[in-house]
Amino acid sequence: MNILVCDDEIEIVEAIEIYLRNEGYNIFKCYNGLDAIETVENNEIHLVVMDIMMPEMDGIKATEKIREVKNIPVIMLSAKSEDIDIVTGLEMGADDYITKPFKPIELIARVNSQLRRYTTLGSVIDNKDIYKTGALVIDDERKEVTVDGEVVKLTPVEYKILLFLTQNAGKVFSIEAIYEKAWNEPSFNPENTVAVHIRRIREKVEIDPKNPKYLKVVWGVGYKVEKI
C-alpha cells in the first residue's frame, strides 16, 4: 500500500515515515499542497496524511482538489487550535483527522482503519444486496448509490454511513453508534466528525439538503434514514 505524507515540517514527515514503514507501507513525501496533488495524480496512492497549515497551498484546498480526481481516504493533521479548520477539512472531503501532538499508535490505528474500509469497498463482494428507500437505491455489490437513477459519488466513509442507516431504515442511531459503525473503533468526541459527514451526504443525495427527505436528524437522539 502506498501512503502519501504531506507536511511542511520535515521532522514530522520523517517521523510518520518511520512509523508507517515499520507497518509495511510504502511512503511518498511532500511538503506543500501543490506537490501533494501532483503526487496523487501521477502515482497509485491509497491514502493521504495531510497537514492543514502549509505554504503555497494548504491541506484543505489540496484535499478539495484531490477529491476531484481520486476517492482515496484522506486523514488531516491539525494543531489543537485549528478546530474550525478541521470541520472545513471534513467538509472538503477528508475522512478523518488527528490532532498534534499524536501518539504513533493512534496514527497507525487510524491509517489501518481507513485502509481496511477503502480496500473492502473497492473489492468485489459476492452478494446481491440492494437497499432501497424511495428513489434512493444502494447496490452493495457494485458499491453504487443512485438517486432518481443518477449515480451519486460518495467517499468510503460517507458510503458506509449511508449504507448502515439505509439497511436499518426507520431506526434512529446515536452519533456514537454511527461513528463506531463507520470507523470501526470506539467513539471519542465524534459530534463534529459525524455531523460534517451527514451534511456532506445530504448535499449529495437530497434535492433540498436543508429540508431532507431521506437523511433526517432526531433532535437529542441521533440520525436515521427515513423508510419510504
Q: Rounded CA gap, 179 and 69, in Å?
A: 26
SS3 129: coil
pLDDT(88) > 70? yes
Task: Please name the helix (run of DSSP H) or strand (run of DSSP E) that holds residue 123, with its range, or none.
Answer: none
* pLDDT for position 85: 73
Q: What would the pLDDT profile of 125-156 be if each residue is shown by its tens digit?
A: 344 578 989 889 998 888 889 998 888 999 88
Cβ count near 46 (within 10 Å)? 19
Share of the chain above pLDDT 90, in %: 46
Q: What would the pLDDT profile of 116-126 be if each residue is shown by its tens digit?
A: 877 765 543 34
Q: Can you tell me the mean pLDDT for 152-180? A: 92
Q: Which of 61, 62, 75 has its CA nearest to residue 109?
A: 75
Q: C-alpha dihedral over 51, 62, 13, 88, to 10 degrees?
A: 10
Which runs of consecutive H residues, i.e. helices, occur in 70-168? 83-91, 104-122, 156-167
SS3 218: strand
DSSP string, 143-165: TEEEETTEEE---HHHHHHHHHH
Lowest mean pLDDT among 20-24, 113-117, 159-163, 201-205: 113-117
* pLDDT for position 117: 73
pLDDT(226) > 80? yes
Joined together, the cell numbers standing for residue 193 give: 466528525
Please say whether the beta carbons of 145 and 159 come within 8 A.
yes
Q: Which of 98, 24, 25 has its CA nearest to residue 59?
A: 98
* pLDDT for position 122: 52
pLDDT(87) > 90? no
**What residue type is 177 in one-letter code?**
A
Q: What would the pLDDT profile of 180-220 be if each residue is shown by its tens digit?
A: 888 887 766 667 888 999 999 999 999 999 899 999 999 88
> Regarding predicted confidence, which is higher, 205 or 56?
205
Maximum Cα–Cα distance across the chain: 53
Q: Rounded CA gap, 155 and 111, in Å?
A: 16
Backbone angles phi, psi at 81, to 5 degrees: -85, 5
CA 62 to chain centre: 15
Domains defined for the chain, CATH in brackets: 2-122 (3.40.50.2300), 130-225 (1.10.10.10)
